[in-house]
Amino acid sequence: MTKHNFYAGPAILPKSVLQKASQAILNFSDMDLSLLEISHRSKQFEAVMDESKSLILEIMNLRDDYDVLFMGGGASSQFFMVPMNILKDDETACYVNTGTWASGAIKEARLFGNVNVLASSEDDHFRHIPKGFTIPSDAAYLHLTSNNTIYGSQYQSFPDSPIPLFCDMSSDIFSKRLDFSKFDLIYAGAQKNLGPAGVTIVVLKKSLIGRSARKLPTMLNYKSFSEKGSMYNTPPVFPIYVTMLTLQWIKEIGGLEVVENRNRAKAECLYNEIDRNSCFYGTVEKNDRSWMNVVFVPNNPEHENLFLEACKAEGCVGLAGHRSVGGFRASLYNALELKSVQVLVDVMKRFEEKYA
């Protein structure tokens, strides 16, 4: 049965990427060896590292005053690595609390300096993105979370910041065009829009590296990764390779403009149905709705399991809301096709006919 994969992460990847990745597990780069059993220092794998890095900078339209690091530990490790590497003890870092992941980043930053939470939508169950807050010009940086994966809100524009702007883009990186040069540091775990779990991309201004002047273990120091091209130790070879294939795919289909148009069409298709259908409603303020994670709930709580069953019967999987929120969440990452969203919309229409 054809499956329509709405999982929030690890998430859907393009079929062609999965095919090439499986081929490389059997015979990588005509070496008659698997990608999984060769040296990461081979020239074939070094080419993968080089191409991954240059594709990221190319798609972001950034120059070589930025470095790209491939790290382990997930985006969650960046919650502490960012302040540990950049914030000095007596400095203040600014954060905006837009949900579970932003809260996690705030908690970890408090270990390394002062934290000023400029704004929070917690009192509103994170149903909107705070706006109009003042950014103090004497703080070390401002950290945002571009897409709130669990509650389904997303910045549709970013504030102009007088201080360096950092962003956790784990769940919407490369989902639309963006002026990436507005940001001084961007990080993203690969497993939502880029590849398998196991690698985290950190893109940062080279001038930030070593800024905190803290004594750090080698493997927690951006400097070691930067100086050694993310090869101080054995990097996560397979996640990096699959990420490279996804980046090639983005370029092949026409770059971020095409990706953006596809994602807009998918989000519109689903939100229009949520707004029309009497069985469901969307929980997030309309202007702040995420294109990546569409969160909605049934008007009748008894419909929750019934609807998930109806979805499953049509091959639509991964639609249960996050355990902390309930309801439904449809993740529409880059590789999900519009026709999968149309199948879901059909299920919603038929559900309404039967149960409304």
**Is residue 70 part of the contact set for ligand PLP (CB under 6 A)?**
no
| 67, 168, 184, 288: the active-site residue | 168
Member of 97, 149, 175, 340 binding ligand PLP (CB under 6 A): 149
Q: CA-to-CA distance for 59 and 315, rounded, in angstroms?
A: 33
Q: Which stretch binds ligand PLP (CB under 6 A): 53-61, 82-90, 163-171, 219-227?
A: 163-171
> Between residue 191 and residue 250, which ones bind ligand PLP under the rule CB under 6 A?
192
Write down the residue that tokens 């837009």 correspond to.
98
In the complex, least distance from residue 75 CB atom to ligand PLP, rounded to whole angstroms: 4
Paired with 97 in beta bridges are: 120
DSSP codes, 180-233:
GGG-SEEEEETTTTTSSTT-EEEEEEGGGTTTT-----GGG-HHHHHHTTT-SS
Q: CA-to-CA distance for 9 and 192, rounded, in angstroms?
A: 5
In the complex, least distance from residue 129 CB atom to ligand PLP, rounded to whole angstroms: 13
In the complex, least distance from residue 228 CB atom to ligand PLP, rounded to whole angstroms: 22
State the number of binding residues for ligand PLP (CB under 6 A): 12
Member of 14, 189, 196, 235 binding ligand PLP (CB under 6 A): 189
Contact between 286 and 156 (Cβ < 8 Å): no
Q: CA-to-CA distance for 247 and 174, rounded, in angstroms?
A: 9
Residue of minimal Cβ distance to ligand PLP: 74
Residue 240: closest CA among 40, 33, 7: 40
Q: Is 66 helix (H, G, I), strand (E, B) or coil?
A: strand
Please, which residue, 101 or 126, has the CB nearer to ligand PLP? 101
- HSE-up (13 A, CA, CB side) for residue 330: 33
Contact between 100 and 125 (Cβ < 8 Å): no
Q: Which stretch binds ligand PLP (CB under 6 A): 32-40, 60-68, 128-136, 167-175?
A: 167-175
Member of 29, 76, 92, 342 binding ligand PLP (CB under 6 A): 76
| 53, 192, 249, 266: the active-site residue | 192
| 53, 101, 172, 184: the active-site residue | 101
Please, which residue, 93 or 279, has the CB nearer to ligand PLP? 93
User: Would you tell me which residues interact with ligand PLP (CB under 6 A)?
Assistant: 9, 74-76, 101, 145, 149, 168, 170-171, 189, 192
